[in-house]
Structures are given as C-alpha cells and as structure tokens.
Amino acid sequence: MADLVTLLSALTSVDNNVRTQAEKSLNEEWIAQRPDVLLVGLAEQAGAAQQVALRSFSAVLLRRIAPKDSPSNTGDRDDTVWDSCSGEAQARIKALVIDAFGKENESTVRHKLADLIAELVQSTNEPWPEAVQALFTCAQSAQPSYRESVFRVFGVAPDMLEDAGADLNALFRTGLEDPAKEVRLAAVQAFTMFLTGTDDARRNALAPLIPALLNVLPPMLAEKDSEGLTFAFNALNELVEMYPKMFSAIFNSMVNFGIAVLKDKTIEDSARQAALECLVIFAEGAPGMCRKDPNYASELVVECLALLTDLGDDDEVQEWLDAEDIDADESDANHVVGEQALDRLARKLGGKTLLPPAFTWLPKLISSQNWRERHAALMALSCIAEGCEKIMRAELDKVLQLVLPALADPHPRVRWAGCNAIGQMSTDFQGDVQEKFTAQVLGALIPALEAPESRVAAHASAAFVNFFEQSEEADLEPYLDPILERLLNLLRRPQKYVQEQAVTTIATVADAANTKFAKYYSVIMPLLIGVLRDAQGDDYKLLRGKAMECASLIALAVGKELFAPQANELIQLLGNIQSSLAPDDLQSQYLISAWGRICKVLGADFHPYLQAVMPPLLVSAKLKPDFTVVADEEAKAEYAEEEGWEFFPVRGQHVGIKTSTLEDKCSATEMLVIYASELKQNFQPYVNDVLTEIAIPGLTFFYHDGVREASCHLLPQLLNCIKLATPGAPVQEAWSSVSRKLLDLLQREPSIEILSELFQAMYECIEVVPELLTDDDMAALVTSTEAQLRDYMKRAETRAADHRAGDVDLEQDEDALLEIEADETMLGEASKALHVVFKHKHSAFIPHWQRLLPYVDRFSQTSDANCRQWAVCVYDDVIEFCGADAWQFRDRFVKPLASGLTDEAAEVRQAAAYGIGVAAQHGGDVFSDLVAQSLPSLFQLATSSEAKDIDNVYVTENAVCTIAKICRFNASKVTDLPQVIHHWVALMPVTHDEQDAPYAYRFLGELLETRDNAVVSQLPHVADAIAQALESAVIEGNNRDLLLRQFKTLLAGLGQQQAQQLITAIQPESRRSVLMAALQ
C-alpha cells in the first residue's frame, strides 16, 4: 500500500505539477488497470491511516471513484468502477468501511464515512444488512457524534430502512427528541427523506411523529440558531411539498411559528427565507388549507411586504443607478424573495383571498413618505397582478390611479418600480390596458424615457415592449413620433444596456406599427446598419444582435418594396458576421432569426442566399443536449460561471444542462419552418435531411418543448415542399414516416401542450396530402383521440374532486386555470383533426369515428360548457360533411342541438346554431323538420335583449346566417316562408362573422334580384345593412361585388330621386361615404 499512500499524498500536493501527474496516474494506472486494488486500498486507508486528513481524504476519494463510469466500458455497457471490481473485493470494501465507521472517533472523518456508506448504498442498489445492523448499533451509542452519523446516512440513503425490520417509530422518535441538537437536525433530514420516499402505509404509520418533528424548531429560534433553522426548514420543505396535508392537524401552529421566524430580524436572512419558502409551499400544495387558516394570508402578506422594503441603505442608491450589470443575480436578496413569494401566493390563492389583506396596506404604502414603502407597493402590485387578474382587471382604472403617479416620483427607484408595474400590467391585463387606457398610460410613460437616470429610462423603454406587444396599430399612430424621438435619444447615451434596450423597443414598435413605421424607416435603418458595420469587438456582441433583430423586424414591418434598396447591404453585413462567429457566440441566435425574417420579406427572392445560410443553420438545428454531472457545489460553481448552464439536484448529485444550446436549436428549427413555408419547392434540396435528421427526431426532443413545437410546425411545410417539387412516391414515403410518428405520439404523449401541437401537425399534414390518408391512418387517429379523451376525463374528474375538497379553486388558482386552458386547447385541436378528416373523407370516416360516440355522448351531457361545445361541434362536422348519412345518429345529436340553442353558455349556443345551419345546407330532406322546428329558437337568439352584447354577437350572427340557410336551402317544412323572410331581413346586418356572412348576403342579394317584398318593404333598412357590411369589410371579393351589382340593379329601378333619398338617409356620414364610394 505504500504506492497508494504516495499517490494520495501527491493528489493533495500544493504543487500543481505534482498533483496533475498524480491525477494522471490515478486514472490511467489505478482506475483503468487496478480498480480492485485501488478501492480496497482506499477502504483500508479510510480506517487505518494514522493521519486524520488521510483517512478523511481516502473516504472522500472512494466515494467519488466507486460510482464513476468504468474506463473498460465498451459498446452499450455502462458499468461503474465499483461494478468492475470482483465480488470478493466488493465484500472486502464493505466490511472495511463498516469497521472503520464503527471505530472512528473523529466526527469529521466519521461523517465522511457516513457519506461513503450512503453513496455505496445508492450506487450499488444492493441490500447491505451488515451496514443497517451497524448503524442501528451506533444509534444507541452514548456519543452524540455517532448518533448524528447514523441519521446522516439515513438522510441520504433512506431506502436502507425499507426492509430493516426494525421499529422505525422508535428510531425516529429517539432521534427527533435526542438531547443533542446536531442529532435532532440529522434526524429531521432522515425522517423527512424517508417519508417522501416510502409507501402510504408506512407514511401513515409514522404520521403521529409530525409534532415531534416540528418540536425540533422552536428551541433553535430561541437560541437564534440561524444555521440550524435553515437546515431544518430546508429538510422540512421537501416533505411539505409532497405531502402538505400531513400537517393539517397542526397547520395553524406551523403558520404562527413560520411568521414568528419571518418577523425576527435578529436571525440570518437564510433562515427567514427558508421559513417563508415553507409557508409558500403550503399554498402551492394545499391552497384550501391555507385559505381556511385565519392567520395565513393576512400575516404572510404583511411579512412579504416587509421583505419588499429591504432595499439597503440610502447610500446604495447611487451604486444601483451606476451599475452596468443590471442583470446581476439578486435571487437571495430579501426583496426579491418577497416578490417571488407574493407572485406564487397570488397564483395559488387568487384575488379573493390575497387582495383584501394586500389592499389593506398597499394604498398606505404607495402614499408613504418613505421611498422604500412606495417601491414595495409598486413591486407588490406587479407580483400579484397575474394571479389576481380577474378581480384586478375589473378595477383596472383604480389600480392605474395608484401606479401612474409613480412615474413622476422624485425617487428614481420608485420611478423604476412604476415602469416595472406598467410593463407587468400591460402583459397581465393585455387588451384592456392598451384599448381603454392608452392615453393615460402612454401620457405618463413617454416622459419617463427622458429620465436623467439611464437605468430608469432603460426600464421605461422595456415597459413599452410589454405595452406594444398587445397594441393595435390604430392605438399607436398618434404616439409614434414622441416615442421614437426619445428612443433615438436613448441610442446616444453611453451605456450599452441602454442602447440595447432602445434597439429592442424600436423593434417592438416597428412590429406593432407595421406599415405605419414606413415614415421612420429612412432614419432608423441606416443607424442599425451603421451599428452592424461599425460596432466591433466582443463588448458589442449583444448590441449587434439586437440591431440584427431590429433591422429584420423593421424590414418585415415595412415590406419588400421599401426594404429592397438596403436588402443587399444588410445581407452582406449579416454574411460577414456569420463567417466570423465563434462557437457559442451569442450573436448566432439573433442571426438565425434575422435570416428567417429577411426570408419572409423577400420570399422566393431569398433563394440565392439559401446556400450560404443553411449550413450553420443545420448545424444549430442538429445540436445535441450538453449535459454534465457534478458531485458537489464546488464543481457546480465552475459551470455556473459559464452562461447557459442550469443544474438540478438528483440523488445527491447535480445534473447540469446547457440551456443556451437548447435555445439555439429551437431558434434554428423555427427558422426552418419559415424557409420551408416561404421557399416551398425551392427548399427541396434540404428537405430529406431536415425531415429525417431534424423534424421527426425533434418531435421527441424532450429536453425543450420549443424544439418539439417547432418540429410539429415544420412537418406539414416539408410535406408541401416535397409535393410541389416531386409529387408521387417521395411524398408517399415522407407521409408514411410522418404519420407513423405522429400517430404513435398522439396516443402516448403526456404533455397536454405538446399534444395540442401534435394534433395540429396531424391535421395540417392531412390538408397537404389528404389523398394519402388510409383506413389504417383513420383508425389509428381515432384510437389516439380515444386515449386522450379518456385521460382528459380523468384529469377533469380529479380537478372537480379537488375543487369540492377545497384544495383547488377553479376560478382563482392560476395553475389550475392554465391546466384547464391547456385541456381546452387540446380538445379544440383534436376536434379540428376530426373535422379535417371528415372534410376530406366524408362518410368513409364514419365507421372509425363511431368508436368515439360514447365520449361525444358523455361530453354533450356534462356540466362543463367547453365539453358540451366540443360535442356539438363534432356533430356539426358529421352533419356538414356526411349530409343525409348523418341522420342515422339523430337520436344522439337532435337533443344536444336543440338544447344547445338555449344553453347558458354562448359558445354552445353558437355551435348549435351553426349545426342547424349546416343541417339546412347539407342535410337534405331528412333534416327539413329539424331545421324548421328550430326557427323560433333561432329568432329568439337573434332578438334577445342581449343579442348585440360583445359576448353574444357571434351567437346572434350565427343564428341570423342559419335562418338564411334554412330559407335558402331547406324551407320545405317552413310555415309562412314569406313572413319568416320578412322578419329575417329585419335582423340584418351581419358585421362580425366573416365565415358565415357570405351566406346571409348571397341570400339577401337573391331577394334583391327578385325584388322580394321582404326587401322592397324595408329598403331603408336593407340599404343601411349593406352599408354596414361594406364598412365592416365582413364580405370581400366576389361576394362583395355580386351584392353591389344586385343592389345597383335595384336602385336603378327606383328612379334617381328615390335612390338618392335612400342613400342620403344612411347615417352616420362615414358609413354613407363607404357605400357611395363602393357604388361608383
């Protein structure tokens, strides 16, 4: 063993050369050639070496080497160094380690041996009864350090206890009530780890120990033991996260204790933050329990607000203003922790629970003389807005009255917080902020761009990004001049982060303003080209990337004609940058996206540049995930310094993935979608490689949902490229590969969001090659849909049960609402898939589709309006595309259609009205009684007092169009048709429903041609209806031209004076002008 001792000494040398040579010897001579000797020797040294440091180092080295991959692995083998040892050597090592553990007197070394035992248990995954017995013996030791080491092992490897055959209740109670604090803390870790991993029976049997677990905490608060409190709460939090209801009996006591820790500013922030985390986790796992507690929301909101005021001393403000790195990590700062907690609480508890205690304090704080309190109030509003969106949206005017004055606050940090709040609200209350409060918001935000403090001005610029992303073109035009003037001024400030943000905001403005941005093009595009040409050096990489983004978005906004003169210069600059990119250059992602936008602008004219653009794009699209596994925080820190790494704890180790690589892959795949859709058959040379190496494998790239979504969007575009370029066998082969993969994933995909994308990919591919859809494909699609409908019903039932139990509030819980939204989207995409198959295969799809009837029937009878709508829409498709063949299912669909016309949900009424319309148009005589009997309900829909409300307008117009279809296509059973038509004319116009409006106006045109009494007797109304149709642009092209010809013919028969009187009577003047211009 002398050689090994020499090696160990060299491995700990302070001489880098000696240490490097020793590491080489360790890997090449010992691990690769003599693993048995090495591991046995390390085990011997861990127990027998004279020096404490050598025993400790030997235990650590053995723990690290044993689970490493063996150098002798070949092919698919994944043996560890431990696996490469003989059974005799493994037994010897275990015996030596247990012996060393039992006799070691130095607590630091024994802790290392405890870690080693736990590692061997985890990595070998084999029973080790001798270790269990030794540990239970040590648990009875009179020395606290021995008892601590026992629980230290169980805390890392709790599975050892599953088959221990011992009284676990006694073991854990003894540990939790041990007189030594360090033993109690180790027991907390062991107990919580065991409970999180064991089965329900054992967990329930040990539940009576929960009070003993919590009794460990108060003495540490009394002693101001911050480190112990932090450790205990962190261990406790894992159990709370998985099984919060285990604490229901003593929950109020836990809340009160957690609040007491939060209030105590004499202990370290880490302990207070760990206590806060525990309380917030309860909200995420058992929100009902939290809502019922009398102190939870009121006390926790106050403490979170207090944390938000912890912003340092006044002399730190200037340092904050002068900082160049405005993205510095502040995740462990109290104010950031408090913000995150409020956000999470709002998302789970909702506005009904959180807003009353919050608004008990927010108005006072926002009017405080203390700038920290004003800042806290604004940040709190930013944090709770999303989770409390429903209630706060209804009071948005009052909320903005609190926020907008802050943009003129004397303190720069308060102004910054005001900008932050406006940006967040522009996103959370999108639509309402932009449509109802444009003047107020922009009137306050535009001056903030001129703030003397660059950090404030940059944040105001960032708030505009949020505002513009949801803004209509008409809202922007009056404000473009002052906004762009100030953004251009920001470009002249010296700070790079200000310039970068200004460029980003200009890009967003251009994207929102669209063609209205043309007047600024000649000023801004040359500036951006100048940045790309002149801003050299690594320090300007991000600015160049932002300039690429901005220039390409502007080109997309103003269009090909205006962009063309600068196109070649910009393309040359981008090409030069691309040729000089280093690996992992942050410009690459901006460049990839810029090429894609330029392709969208130039269309087929981009084809000549494809040869230069595609090679690096394909490299990025084919990137593999970059992983690493590290054993401790020290090794993890080396990667954390490199941008793009994220780590996740897994069984005592840290698994890292380089997320920047994934983002590059996602962007590249998204750009391939653009190239394939824009260039079509010209993209053919790359199609096979992209399909087989990128798109199809990308469907199962589970590391990044964005890649999977982009791959779904790419498939139909690639099929279209093949079909246009080489129809026949190649597209048949491609369809076979694509459909097989999609149909397989549709049946087993667990992610609801990705499932929606898969359904969309499936029906879009069918639209490209409907002729290739086989009976087997249809059968497989129904099988997949059936599986997903079954899973949907289970999820819906679980949500309903949780709602009844008070665990989930389906009106307020943000996560539950997002789950419901995802499910609704998935159902919609599944319905579209069925729709497309019916559209192309008609009655041939019925034999396969019939298997879904039990689900459709169940959905039609549920209390969930979304499900009822889904069922009616499915029946609508059967009727529309199968005509009279659908009548065989009349006993199933007549009731849902009839009751749907009077359903409380507008979306169901609309679907039912549409269904009656397609029955009239496509169903033939067998549907004549049904459609005639539906007329009273349809007229009731169209004439109700709420018919024109925004929530009902599409229902109303669907009903009006359906009446037109009945009168036009299927009126044989209609009583007193002339009177029905007369009343129908009185219901016009249709101004919103672009899909069905042509049916209404074609029928109106036919009545005009025949000078039907229904129109002749209501000519002023008819003329106004036609004017409104033109004003709303609800009909265009041939439908518009035909209606105008028919109307002109009627006017010509009236005589000039009567026709002029008819037109002149139309009000307002703007509507009359539209009609007169169209009649010219």
Query: Which pLDDT belongs to residue 78?
Result: 78
Tell me the average pLDDT across 342-366. Answer: 95
Residues 6+ apart with CB under 8 A from 710: 666, 669, 670, 672, 673, 698
Q: What is the pLDDT of residues 524-555, one digit of tens each?
A: 999 999 999 988 888 889 899 999 999 999 99
- Nearest alpha carbon to residue 566 among 510, 603, 524: 524
Query: Which pLDDT belongs to residue 1065?
Result: 92
Q: What is the pLDDT of residues 58-106, one digit of tens each?
A: 999 999 899 888 888 877 777 889 988 998 999 999 999 999 998 888 9
Look at residue 667 and tell me whether its pLDDT is greater than 80. yes
Query: Which pLDDT belongs to residue 647?
Result: 62
Spatial distance between the Cα atoms of 580 and 575, rounded to a whole number of angstroms: 9
Look at residue 946 and tell me whether its pLDDT is greater than 70. yes
Look at residue 643 and tell me whether its pLDDT is greater than 80. no
Of residues 10 and 845, the one with the higher pLDDT is: 845
Spatial distance between the Cα atoms of 670 and 382, rounded to a whole number of angstroms: 32
Residue 469's pLDDT band (cuts 50, 70, 90): confident
Look at residue 508 and tell me whether its pLDDT is greater than 70. yes
Tell me the average pLDDT across 190-212. Answer: 93
Quote the mean pLDDT of the chain: 91
Look at residue 651 and tell me whether its pLDDT is greater than 70. no
Tokens of 801: 């049960």
Q: What is the pLDDT of residues 415-434, one digit of tens each?
A: 999 999 999 999 999 989 99
Residue 656's CB is within 10 A of a number of other CB atoms, namely 21
Q: Map residue 470 onto helix, strand or coil.
A: coil
Q: Is 889 left (phi over 0), alpha (psi -120 to 50) or beta?
A: alpha
Spatial distance between the Cα atoms of 147 and 183, rounded to a whole number of angstroms: 6
Look at residue 640 and tell me whether its pLDDT is greater than 60. no
Query: Which pLDDT belongs to residue 810?
Result: 79
For 422, counting Cβ atoms within 10 Å of its Cβ (0-12 exposed, 13-18 middle, 19+ buried), the class is: buried
Q: Map residue 144 onto helix, strand or coil.
A: helix
Query: Which pLDDT belongs to residue 632?
Result: 58
Tell me the average pLDDT across 435-459. Answer: 95
- Nearest alpha carbon to residue 345 among 780, 1024, 669, 809: 809
Spatial distance between the Cα atoms of 568 and 563, rounded to a whole number of angstroms: 10
- Reported residue count of the chain is 1080
Q: What is the pLDDT of residues 954-1005, one digit of tens each?
A: 999 999 999 999 999 999 999 999 999 999 999 999 999 999 999 999 999 9
Residue 639's pLDDT band (cuts 50, 70, 90): low
Look at residue 19 and tell me whether its pLDDT is greater than 80. yes
Spatial distance between the Cα atoms of 335 and 340, rounded to a whole number of angstroms: 9
The reported pTM is 0.82
Tell me the average pLDDT across 203-221. Answer: 95
Residue 125's pLDDT band (cuts 50, 70, 90): confident
Spatial distance between the Cα atoms of 461 and 509, rounded to a whole number of angstroms: 11
Give the max Cα distance, the chain: 120
Tell me the average pLDDT across 937-964. Answer: 94
Cβ-contact 615, 690 below 8 angstroms: no
Cβ-contact 872, 911 below 8 angstroms: yes
Residues 6+ apart with CB under 8 A from 688: none
Q: What is the pLDDT of residues 759-817, one digit of tens each?
A: 999 999 999 999 999 999 999 999 999 999 999 999 999 998 888 887 787 777 788 88
Q: Map residue 894 onto helix, strand or coil.
A: helix
Cβ-contact 208, 170 below 8 angstroms: no
Residue 873's pLDDT band (cuts 50, 70, 90): very high
Residue type, 1024: D
Tell me the average pLDDT across 468-484. Answer: 81
Tell me the average pLDDT across 733-741. Answer: 96
Q: Map residue 282 onto helix, strand or coil.
A: helix
